[in-house]
């Protein structure tokens, strides 16, 4: 079934859009590497319409996670998994990662707790990976430039924003007092990055946890949460009592296959639900290639998520290069939430820069995510996706 959310949307401008005159007025030469070009057709490759009513009986994986594996462990605010207190009390990193044919494979992407995906210019998508336990990771990336809208999502987690330059539109936001970022295009921050010899520029920039930690300490950034964000971002169900979406009855649709090609026509990524472990496994079809599992070059693992969120936003083009502004602040817009082989329509809101994006069912109740990793697909309100 094809879904287009235009009938739900309230056309309000987000804070980044309201601040556009300020951003465009900062002037100066762009710090962004030349905008990539693509010749791939932008035509949609959508699945045929299918019935989605809740008729199948998906077996839900249940696990007793009521007690921590080791004494002193606490719940992660990102995944609700048990983690050490040191990990839980250390701010995460948010890393900008390209997602095009020349940029894969990615390194240590499967270690991220949350991944955002959104369009940038030329209908390419870029990922932002939120890492919780990052200090011992080796070869993270590769890494590319930032866009303002990713920064606003990174702020929700009080994350150190890791990127390699960006267009001049980001300058004012990066210069704000509370923005703590590591920018590889600058001389001092560049010490935390390196280029590999196994692929050409600009797809060969990496970092690691040790280098980032050294730079964070040199910049006198606080590793502990600063009190700018909410202690509880998502609301979680435990593995012992998972959210099956059964409480929504016929409003919960079957969703064992989620196809994002209508929104991401170049990567054409999709998610397949595995009933054995209750996870959605990600694959994609990059330009000039074939459908392949999205596999981490370090771990050999295919990216997999317990929760998949599709979030509609208003999107506008800024200039002739195709740079975009996306609406990441609003008091109500809509999307979809998928878990355990089912999906429901949701509404979302974000009311401040460091405030969490909250997701609600149609009755106004905050949704209950399941313990585990989450994929958030940010899509243009005029685009569509399919599931069955």
Confidence of residue 42 (pLDDT cuts 50, 70, 90): very low
- Those residues with Cβ within 8 angstroms of residue 155's Cβ, 6 or more apart along the chain or in another chain: 178, 179, 228, 229, 353, 354
- The pLDDT value recorded for residue 40 is 27
Comparison of pLDDT for 2 and 135, the residue scoring more: 135
Confidence of residue 289 (pLDDT cuts 50, 70, 90): confident
In the predicted structure, residue 31 carries a pLDDT above the cut 50: no
Q: How far is the CA of 382 from the CAs of 66, 130, 262, 315, 379, in angstroms?
A: 43, 27, 10, 9, 8
Average pLDDT in the chain: 88
Q: Which of 19, 101, 97, 55 has its CA nearest to residue 250?
A: 55
> Domain for residue 11, yes or no?
yes
How much of the chain is helix, strand and coil, in % rounded to 5? Answer: 15, 30, 55
- The pLDDT value recorded for residue 47 is 35
> Domain for residue 41, yes or no?
no
Burial of 21 (0-12, 13-18, 19+ CB in 10 A): exposed
Confidence of residue 54 (pLDDT cuts 50, 70, 90): very low
- The pLDDT value recorded for residue 286 is 80
State percent of the chain over pLDDT 90: 80
Q: Which tens digits make up the pLDDT trace of 175-207?
A: 999 999 999 999 999 999 999 999 999 999 999
Query: In this structure, how many other beta carbons lie within 10 angstroms of the beta carbon of residue 217?
Result: 10
The two tokens of residue 233 are 């971002």
In the predicted structure, residue 249 carries a pLDDT above the cut 50: yes
Q: Tell me, what CATH number does 360's domain have?
A: 3.50.90.10
What's the angle, vertex CA 16, arms to CA 11 and CA 17, rounded to 5?
45
- The pLDDT value recorded for residue 205 is 97
Confidence of residue 32 (pLDDT cuts 50, 70, 90): very low
> Domain for residue 81, yes or no?
no
- The C-alpha atoms of residue 334 and residue 312 are separated, in whole angstroms, by 6
In the predicted structure, residue 304 carries a pLDDT above the cut 90: yes
- The C-alpha atoms of residue 81 and residue 67 are separated, in whole angstroms, by 11
> Domain for residue 65, yes or no?
no
Domain containing 269: what range?
2-26+46-54+87-387
In the predicted structure, residue 226 carries a pLDDT above the cut 50: yes
CB 378 within 8 A of CB 329: no
In the predicted structure, residue 10 carries a pLDDT above the cut 60: no
- The pLDDT value recorded for residue 56 is 62
Comparison of pLDDT for 2 and 166, the residue scoring more: 166
> Domain for residue 79, yes or no?
no
Rounded mean pLDDT, 274-303: 92
In the predicted structure, residue 127 carries a pLDDT above the cut 50: yes
Number of domains in the chain: 1
pTM listed for this prediction: 0.87
> Domain for residue 330, yes or no?
yes
3-class SS at 360? Answer: strand
Q: Which tens digits make up the pLDDT trace of 331-347?
A: 889 999 999 999 999 99
In the predicted structure, residue 52 carries a pLDDT above the cut 70: no
- The C-alpha atoms of residue 265 and residue 43 are separated, in whole angstroms, by 7
> Domain for residue 75, yes or no?
no
3-class SS at 338? Answer: strand
Comparison of pLDDT for 17 and 301, the residue scoring more: 301
- The pLDDT value recorded for residue 288 is 67
- The C-alpha atoms of residue 154 and residue 254 are separated, in whole angstroms, by 31
Rounded to 5 degrees, what are φ and ψ at 163? -155, 175
Rounded mean pLDDT, 363-379: 98
- The pLDDT value recorded for residue 48 is 31
> Domain for residue 82, yes or no?
no
Rounded to 5 degrees, what are φ and ψ at 340? 50, 35
Cα torsion 43, 47, 51, 55: sign? negative
Q: Which residues of 179-207 are buried (b: 16+ CB within 10 A; e: fewer)?
A: bbbbbbbeeebeebbeeeeeeeebbbbbb
């Amino acid at each position: 079934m094809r879904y287009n959310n235009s009938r739900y949307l309230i056309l309000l401008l987000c804070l980044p859009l309201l601040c556009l005159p300020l951003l465009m007025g900062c002037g100066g030469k762009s710090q962004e590497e030349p905008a990539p070009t693509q010749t791939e057709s932008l035509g949609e490759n959508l699945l045929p319409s299918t019935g989605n009513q809740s008729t199948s009986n998906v077996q839900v994986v249940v696990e007793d996670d009521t007690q921590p594996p080791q004494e002193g462990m606490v719940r992660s605010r990102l995944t609700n998994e048990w983690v050490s207190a040191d990990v839980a009390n250390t701010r995460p990193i948010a890393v900008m990662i390209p997602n095009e044919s020349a940029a894969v494979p990615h390194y240590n992407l499967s270690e991220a707790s949350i991944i955002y995906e959104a369009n940038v210019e030329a209908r390419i998508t870029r990922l932002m990976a939120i890492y919780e336990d990052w200090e011992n990771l080796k070869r993270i990336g590769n890494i590319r430039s930032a866009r303002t809208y990713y920064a606003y999502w990174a702020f929700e987690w009080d994350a150190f924003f890791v990127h390699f330059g960006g267009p001049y539109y980001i300058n004012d936001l990066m210069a704000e007092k509370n923005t703590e970022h590591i920018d590889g295009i600058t001389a001092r921050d560049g010490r935390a990055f390196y280029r590999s010899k196994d692929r050409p520029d600009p797809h060969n920039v990496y970092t690691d946890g040790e280098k980032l930690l050294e730079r964070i300490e040199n910049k006198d950034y606080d590793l502990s949460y600063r009190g700018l964000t909410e202690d509880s971002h998502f609301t979680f169900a435990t593995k012992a009592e998972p959210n099956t979406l059964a409480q929504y009855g016929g409003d919960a649709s079957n969703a064992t296959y989620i196809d994002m090609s209508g929104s991401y026509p170049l990567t054409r990524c999709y998610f397949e639900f595995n009933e054995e472990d209750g996870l959605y496994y990600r694959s994609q079809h990059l330009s000039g290639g074939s459908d392949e599992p999205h596999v981490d070059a370090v771990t050999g693992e295919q990216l997999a998520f317990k929760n998949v969120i599709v979030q509609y936003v208003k999107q506008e083009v800024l200039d002739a290069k195709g740079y975009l502004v996306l609406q990441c602040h609003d008091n109500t817009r809509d999307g979809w939430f998928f878990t355990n082989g089912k999906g429901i329509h949701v509404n979302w809101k974000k009311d401040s820069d460091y405030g969490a994006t909250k997701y609600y069912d149609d009755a106004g109740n905050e949704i209950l995510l399941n313990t585990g990793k989450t994929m958030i697909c940010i899509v243009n309100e005029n685009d569509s996706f399919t599931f069955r």
